[in-house]
Amino acid sequence: MKKRTLISAALLCVVLLLSLCSTCACSQEYCSHLVAGTTVIAETCDEPGYTRHICALCGYIWQTDFVEPLGHDFSVTSIPSTCEESEQITYSCNTCGEKFTVAGAAPLGHTWVKSVNVPTCTTEGHTQYECSVCFASYEADETAPTGHAFTAKVTAPTCTAEGYTVYTCNDCGYSTVSERLPATGHEYVRKVTPPTTQRMGNIIYRCSVCGHSYVERYINVYDVLVGAAGDGNGALALGVDLSSHNGDVDFVELAKKVDYVILRVATSNLSVDTRFEEYYAAAKAAGLDVGCYYASYAVNEKEMAADIQKLQQLIAGKTFEYPIYLDIEKEEQRNIGKELMTNMITTYMESMIDAGWFPGLYTNNDFLKNAMNSSFIQALYDVWFAGYKYSQTNETVYSSMYGMWQYTNTGSMAGVTGDVDINVAFKDYPAIIAYYKLNGK
């Protein structure tokens, strides 16, 4: 009980003191502090030592009993001077470890040894300086390379070998090849010798520069006369056929609508179509492809021979992109017999191909069935078929049977007054004729 009383009294005193401290601000000099603790701080190399006190009442801190700093205990090390660097002196405190470095003696400087390198064709000249102490080096007094003193030798390209220039240096012997030019390649001229019934034809390419040549292919007459069948791909070109009864024709307007025209040359009674020459010139000027036909009334081989001769005279010197057709459809020819008619047509075809023309036959279904050996004719020769019942089905069927189809004789076309015959081609005749160099090509 007595112990508790003492503690309570002490606490009361502390409370009273705290009350007084907050009132009088014990940090002022007239206030008496109650020391709560004391700490001794030891001196270091740079800092003094002292004793630190703290007031239990207000927390005020103060120091007493100051002691001077110890001071550094330095050890000294040195890195000697080099050619480029000063001496480095380092001070290290044995007590606290503080360290610093100062410059000592000046750099020694390089001891240079000089060597001169003269320039060459490809390398520059210079003076080399190297220190005999530290082996540092630098270059000075540079002079440019002298460059090669080249002599050029030119080899021109040929058809098969590249061209080039060899440059050789007169001083050092170095050589290089430059200015390479590709081989020029052969400048081939294509020459077609059309086949006839008596000999093979061929296609020869001969270089106009070096004379090298090769045969692309040999051509049999039956490579050219491949029969009546079209390629089955439908109409490739649209055209009309014209004779003097069509009168004045505006070929410029016509060329806006069609690809080609087939012109009547003459008839068997030696009557030359009065518009043939006019039509031919105008069609060519308008850019149209042109073919022609001869209306034969021949009923025997002699008359057919005369027709062939007359036709070839009339078309000599002209060029045609479409076949030269023999028109067979006269009533008096119907009853001469299939064998004779077939022989006459064969004579025409062979004579025309032998003379360098691409021949064809114009006729109708009645004549094909009743007036000739149609299976033989259609197997060998081109046929321009006249059948005046147009339908999409007919076009599809005929595109596999014939080279060209005349599907109407009462059509209308810009540039032509009145009725006109209209045709579709199922073969690319311009390409075929150009390839075999026929029809004056």
CATH of the domain at 402: 3.20.20.80
Do residues 283 and 354 share a domain? yes
Instruction: Check residue 424 and give its pLDDT.
Output: 98
Euclidean distance between CA atoms 192 and 435, whole angstroms: 8
Same domain, residue pair 96 and 116? no
Is 23 a member of any domain?
no
Report how many domains make up the chain: 6
> Count of residues for the chain?
441
Q: Residue 398: exposed, middle, or buried by beta-carbon count in 10 A (0-12, 13-18, 19+)?
A: buried
- Judge whether 98 lies within some domain: yes
* Among candidate residues 170, 200, 218, the one where a domain is terminated: 218
In a domain, 426, yes or no: yes
195 and 261 both lie in a single domain? no
pLDDT score at 259: 98
Distance between CA atoms of 115 and 97, rounded to whole angstroms?
Answer: 50
Residues 259 and 197 grouped into a single domain: no
| Residue 259, helix vs strand vs coil | coil
**60 occurs within a structural domain:** yes
Asked if 231 and 341 sit in the same domain, the reply is: yes
Shared domain for 248 and 390, answered yes or no, is yes
Query: Residue 32 has what pLDDT?
Result: 79
Beta strand ranges found along 198-278 (DSSP E)? 201-207, 213-219, 237-242, 260-267
The answer to whether position 5 is within a domain reads no
Which residues are CB-contacts of 406 (< 8 A; sequence separation ≥ 6)? Answer: 241, 362, 384, 385, 386, 387, 388, 421, 422, 423
Same-domain pairing of 177 and 286: no
- Are 391 and 291 members of one domain? yes
Q: Does a structural domain hold residue 381? A: yes
Is the domain of 201 the same as that of 320? no
pLDDT score, position 65: 87
- Same domain for 419 and 308, yes or no, is yes
Domain interval for residue 94: 74-103
Over its length of 441 residues, how does the chain's per-residue pLDDT go in tens digits? 433 443 343 343 333 344 434 434 444 444 578 988 899 888 888 889 889 899 988 989 988 988 889 888 888 888 898 888 888 888 889 888 889 888 888 898 899 888 988 899 988 988 988 888 888 888 888 898 988 999 999 999 999 999 999 999 998 989 999 989 999 999 999 999 999 999 999 999 999 999 999 999 999 999 999 999 998 889 999 999 999 999 999 999 999 999 999 999 999 987 899 999 999 999 999 999 999 999 999 999 999 999 999 999 999 999 999 999 999 999 999 999 999 999 999 999 999 999 999 999 999 999 999 999 999 999 999 999 999 999 999 999 999 999 999 999 999 999 999 999 999 999 999 999 999 999 998
pLDDT for 394:
95
pLDDT the model gives residue 251: 98
H helix or E strand, kind and range, residue 288 = none
pTM (whole model) above 0.75 = no
Residue 305 in any domain: the answer is: yes
* 289 and 367 assigned to the same domain: yes
Residue 28 lies in a domain: no
Residues 297 and 317 both lie in one domain: yes
Interatomic CA distance for residues 125 and 217, integer angstroms: 67
